Amino acid sequence: MRFEGEMSLDEQDAVAHAIAGMYGQDPSSVKDMRAQPHSGYRAVHVWLRLPARVEVQVRTHMQGAWANVYEAAADVFGRDIRYRVRPDDPVQRNIVDSLQSLSVVATAKMEEERNSKARELLRLQEYADAGSPIFDKQVRDRLEAEWKRGRTSENEFRDALRKLHDQFRTMQGGPVTVSGFVIEYYRPTGVHRVHEFPGAEGYRDAMRYRLQLEGERTDSDWEIVSLNSSSLEALKSTHSRYFAVEDERQSA
């Protein structure tokens, strides 16, 4: 059985423990597979000891999107990649490694950031309900803007995963002809720069570069996104809002 929905890590824990409690199970029935992922797979499982054993998979929307991609990749590179087996072919092996990195590095970081912001907003609401003046409107606006940017990044990331899933579904074997892209987008002017990372390592290289830029671009007017696409032209078609102003392109 599977329970999947848009939620934070704390909410995922709460759902898993609520399912266990509903069936009279103790906390040991909840198995956290996020800290030690299995072939990149991250989720929380609940083992229900009923007349017949039932395993419930509790996934966030991000974990579910990644799992769908990896299942599609397993149909191309072999079902054994789900059980820590890496392909012999070096190109395919790099692709599998990159897919796992998307989960244990990129997705995990986005979920940790979402969880942190959700906690801050919750504390803010608690203080506001208590009539505390600790947080002023400027702080609230900043937190809400950061939350909104995070959700936009999540949506872009999930969109890239859906496209990658569809590409695996249409493959008959062989390497994936997809590059990783990073877009630096400055909202006030629409000026941007596109960095392309071709090859089997493109997915992972783009994600690493995005994380680097997020540490450098501290101004909230900057939006840094990483995407996968077969070409820059295809990227412009699917994400046209970033390309209203003539772009600067830089291959990495």
Q: How far are the Cα atoms of 8, 11, 124 from residue 144, in angstroms, in the given order? A: 16, 19, 11
Q: Does residue 147 share a domain with residue 242?
A: no
| pLDDT value of residue 130 | 65
| pLDDT value of residue 132 | 64
Domain boundary residue among 120, 150, 171?
171
Decide if 252 contacts 196 (C-beta within 8 A): yes
Q: Does residue 156 share a domain with residue 85?
A: yes
Domain boundary residue among 121, 145, 171?
171
pTM: 0.67
CA–CA separation, 48 and 19 (whole Å): 9
Name the residue among 164, 194, 183 with its Cα closest to residue 67: 164
Domain count, the chain: 2
Domain membership of residue 195 as a residue range: 177-252
Domain boundary residue among 149, 171, 193?
171
Burial track 73-90 (b if 16+ CB lie within 10 A, e otherwise): bbebbeeebbeeebbeee
Q: Does residue 188 share a domain with residue 128?
A: no
Q: Does residue 95 share a domain with residue 188?
A: no
Q: Does residue 182 share a domain with residue 144?
A: no
Q: Does residue 187 share a domain with residue 161?
A: no
| pLDDT value of residue 103 | 96
Name the residue among 167, 168, 193 with its Cα closest to residue 181: 193
Q: Does residue 148 share a domain with residue 193?
A: no
Q: Does residue 206 share a domain with residue 148?
A: no
Amino acid at 155: N
Q: Does residue 124 share a domain with residue 234?
A: no
Query: What parts of the chain have a pLDDT lower than 70?
Result: 129-136, 172-178, 200, 246-252
Q: Does residue 132 share a domain with residue 17?
A: yes
| pLDDT value of residue 251 | 44
